[in-house]
Amino acid sequence: MDSPVWCAPISRAVVFGGTHGNEMAGVCLAKHWMKNPSEIQRQTFTTECCIANPLAVERCVRYIDQDLNRCFSMEILRSPAAPSDSYELKRARDIFHKYGSGDSAVDFALDLHNTTANMGVTYLLCRNNDLFSVHLVNYLQSKSGDLPLPFHCSLTDVPEKDLVYLHRIAKRSLCLEIGPQPHGVIRADILSAMREIVNHVLDFIDLFNQGKEFPGFEMDNYTFFSRVDFPRDSKGEVEAVIHSELQDKDFAPLKPGDPIFKTLDGKDILYEGEKILYPMFINEAAYYEKKVAFVLTEKVRCTFPALKLMH
């Protein structure tokens, strides 16, 4: 096992809801905590709460002009404002200015999402070197045993140029996806799971700040492999739907020859890859326009060193 990694304490954290305005568990909790912040306060650090895309929340849509959660490249964030900038570009710069840059940058960002896919509780991390957040996920998995949802960790080392997600504004961050939940709907079970997990996140930070050491460990991760689009006709119309044998099977092994789509003429389309992969975001409503029917990942066993507080 490698030698421990030392991390500075967290003094300022932020929880984002409504990065997508119709993902309602995060929207509902963020609104509640902005009015009633006591639940998200801990002894050793401050936690703020922010509705990332307030206009999209007001209209209960994913976004106004473009997907806010694809606007956080450093190129965009550092470019000068222009009159033609979309609403989301302006919001991205405002959020970066308030939470992501300079002396007052937050030490940790948590971004709350829902998906129509049957992904249970999925923790998305985009930097392999964010050992703090990997330990956080390991802690969450140990605490999530009572939840009625399966949980998974998707850890991918996204190259700097492809880092376009809101939670990248902090060096330590986590994006939480919980589903299945239709967009525009608040389900009590999903809301309650998300609320419990956010509280565990804040407890972990508090424990870490108090000097608790977290030993090294092994964990399965699902790393990005590829995106698969729906079969489409020459006009771009979907010609086949997610096969009933694939629907709701997020993170189950997909084997060469397994059916993945069914055409409206009743033909099965099979997975022609060469090895077993693990699909996620199967039939996510918002991904039809992104030309993504599901995302394929590889399951990788990883070893992580211990985490200690740097005083």
- Which chain residues interact with a copy of itself by CB under 8 A? 28, 31-32, 36, 60-61, 116, 180-189, 191-192, 237-238, 241-244, 247, 262, 264, 283-286, 288-289
Closest CB to a copy of itself among 177 and 284? 284
Closest CB to a copy of itself among 5 and 68? 68
DSSP string, 235-256: TS-B-EEE-TTTTT-TTS-B-T
Element spanning 23, H or E: none
Shortest distance in whole angstroms from residue 58 CB to a copy of itself? 11
Tokens of 8: 């500075």
Closest CB to a copy of itself among 190 and 307? 190
Q: Contact 127/160 with Cβ under 8 angstroms?
A: no
Contacts of 21 (CB under 8 A, 6+ apart): 27, 53, 55, 56, 57, 58, 59, 60, 61, 62, 63
Shortest distance in whole angstroms from residue 228 CB to a copy of itself? 15
Closest CB to a copy of itself among 107 and 177? 177
Burial letters 250-267, b for 16+ CB under 10 A, else e:
bbeebeeebbbbbeeeee
Which residue carries 């850890």 as its tokens? 155
Closest CB to a copy of itself among 101 and 244? 244
Q: Contact 292/284 with Cβ under 8 angstroms?
A: yes
Shortest distance in whole angstroms from residue 187 CB to a copy of itself? 6
CA distance 186 to 24: 5
Shortest distance in whole angstroms from residue 182 CB to a copy of itself? 3
Shortest distance in whole angstroms from residue 201 CB to a copy of itself? 18
Closest CB to a copy of itself among 182 and 215? 182
Shortest distance in whole angstroms from residue 185 CB to a copy of itself? 5
Tokens of 77: 């964030």
